[in-house]
Chain A
Amino acid sequence: MSTLAFEIPYWGQSLLRVLGGIVAVLLPAGTIVYVFLFKMMSFMQSRLGPMEAGPYGSMQLLAEVGKWMQKEDLIPENADAKIYKIAPVIVLLSTFLLVVVVPFGPDAWFTNFQAGVFYALAIGSVSVIGILVAGWSSANKYSLLGGLRAAGQLIAYELPMVLAVVGVVIQAGSMNLQQIVVAQNTFEIFGWNGLGMPFVVTQFVGFLIFMIAVQAELTQAPFDMPIAESELVSGYMTEYSGFRFLIFFIGEFATAGVFAFIASVLFLGGWGIPFSWFGWETVDDVDDWMNIAGPGIMFAKMMLLVGIIMWVRFSYPRFREDQLQRFAWKVLIPISLLNIAVTAILKVAF
């Protein structure tokens, strides 16, 4: 902000940050739903998807939102009404809190938090509370089972996710997401710095584990047991209707976008382009136009990662509940522990 010619007052900065946060959460969510949920899935099933609302059905999402907004807000008789109403808000709120630490450019960040990785992983698991609360307060056995499954699954996959990120933190030598971006764009591969070094190259195992864990965190197929529609109606969302369901729906895809942002920061080099191209040394040398280009680069990387997540989602059938737990505890966690050990040894060795 200090690079600008005029000084924006604090309330103006806050307002800009809130607006930016809303855009950074809702714009990816809407794009993901249209590009992947409506169109890519349809094409993969050899159909066209929505075509009537707007050109190529691009206004379909607005129509859906309008439909949900005018539906009745049903609350089951035995539900714990107060908590029942709050639950979807908790889920969406955790998404907004998550986007706060993501850097979109050298100065385009919401907050430059020193322990950003730690914060992101901690806040990322807050949505479990919302889901558990939703399942419990619905007074419905399907909701409760869905909520419990979600809690078990999210806790099980939180661990490999954290452990996979530790490898990145060791290599970058910082928990600040901005520093991690800088590290990836200034590191050299055997003295050659033409491409920087996205950690997806050195931490490929970590990247794989992280993406699998993200898939499970987002409860996308093949990890969609919490909302397994053939077993649990719709899991913890069963009783929700109208705009509260809409909030859950937005939350699902907004979280997908934000986790993809975080993954691209951690593994794909974030907003940066290799600093050596323009002769930059540190983050302070970076030209101001990167504040405009950075969000675009982040958006492209986010779309790539979400595309992979959705591609997997549309291709695979659901795991069984015990297979899911076994996969997390017996495969992912040991591999990620091994990954940490190897990374640490190599870090010391070189």
Chain B
Amino acid sequence: MPAKPKVPGLIKGLGVTMGTMFRTVKDGANTVQYPHEKETPPIRARGVIALREDNCTACMLCARSCPDWCIYIEGHKQLAPPRRAGGKPRQVNHLDRFDIDYALCMYCGICVEVCPFDALFWSPEYEYSEPRIADLLHDKTKLGEWMETVPEAPELEAGAAKK
């Protein structure tokens, strides 16, 4: 049986609320008055997904793994100059359209995980709400602009680098 508290719980509870009130008046609240002052989100916060277009091969893995089907990709095959002189022209996928509908996205991050070419990144930016819901469809230029807000990848832990 736990020891009987010195102060009855009912009185103690009143003390807690009153104490918190005086602390808030004296030291300020724990909350932040959002539009006037902002908290910096943690570096790995899931704010918005950025696209590095050069890395994308329109392989569709992200679009197919998306639980919400909110990624729209269109591309076409085209010939690129050969890598070595005298070689055969290469066939590459060219990205025509890469849209993410943030009205549907649920920020699960599976697309970022699944991308084999490092074309998708998380950015902690979060202020992109729109008065019109259709404007939440970000096209590839807009997704490319988000790349500027992607923070540098943190240093690997010692011993984690590939041998």
Contact = CB atoms under 8 A, between A and B. Distances in A.
B33 interface: yes
Please classify the interface of chain A as helix (H, G, I), strand (E, B), loop, or mixed, using the class held by over half of its residues.
helix
B10 A316 contact: yes
B17 A48 contact: no
B17 A315 contact: yes
Interface stretch (A8-16, A37-45, A93-101): A37-45
A46 B31 CA distance: 7
Contact of B29 (A48, A311, A315, A316): A48
B1 interface: no
For chain B, give the interface size range: 10 to 19
Contacts of B23: 46
Contact of A312 (B14, B16, B30, B31): B14
B16 to A, nearest CB: 7
Contacts of B20: 43-46
B25 A315 contact: no
Contacts, number: 40
B24 A46 contact: yes
A48 B14 contact: no
Contacts of B33: 48, 51
A47 interface: yes
Contact of B24 (A43, A51, A311, A312): A43
Nearest to B18: A311
B61 interface: no
A43 B14 CA distance: 14
Contacts of A44: 17-18, 20-21, 24
Contacts of B151: none
B128 to A, nearest CB: 23
Interface residues of A, number: 14
Please classify the interface of chain B as helix (H, G, I), strand (E, B), loop, or mixed, using the class held by over half of its residues.
helix
A316 B30 contact: no
Interface in B1-38: 10, 13-14, 16-18, 20-21, 23-25, 29-31, 33
A45 B25 CA distance: 11
Contacts of A47: 24, 29-31
A46 B19 CA distance: 10
A312 B11 CA distance: 10
Nearest to B27: A46
Given A43-B25, A47-B24, A315 B30 contact: no
A183 B62 CA distance: 82
Nearest to B21: A43
* Most chain B beta carbons < 10 A, residue from A46, A51, A314, A316: A46
Contacts of A312: 14
A48 B21 CA distance: 10
Interface in A313-350: 314-316
Nearest to B33: A51
Contacts of A314: 17
B14 A40 contact: no
Interface in A25-59: 40, 42-48, 51
Contacts of B17: 44, 311, 314-315
Contact of A311 (B10, B14, B30): B14
Nearest to B28: A48
Nearest to A313: B17
Nearest to B15: A315
Given A46-B30, A47-B31, A48-B33, A315 B13 contact: yes
B148 to A, nearest CB: 32
A39 B21 CA distance: 9
B160 to A, nearest CB: 39
A47 B24 CA distance: 7
A314 B24 CA distance: 15
A177 to B, nearest CB: 30
B40 to A, nearest CB: 20
Contacts of A45: 20
Q: Please list the 5 inter-chain residue pairs (A to B) with the smallest Cβ-Cβ separation, ordered nearest first.
A: A43-B24, A43-B21, A47-B31, A46-B30, A44-B17
Interface of A: 40, 42-48, 51, 311-312, 314-316
10 contacts: A43-B20, A43-B25, A44-B21, A45-B20, A47-B24, A48-B29, A312-B14, A314-B17, A315-B14, A315-B16
Interface of B: 10, 13-14, 16-18, 20-21, 23-25, 29-31, 33
Given A46-B30, A315-B16, 6 more contacts: A42-B24, A42-B29, A43-B21, A43-B29, A47-B24, A311-B14
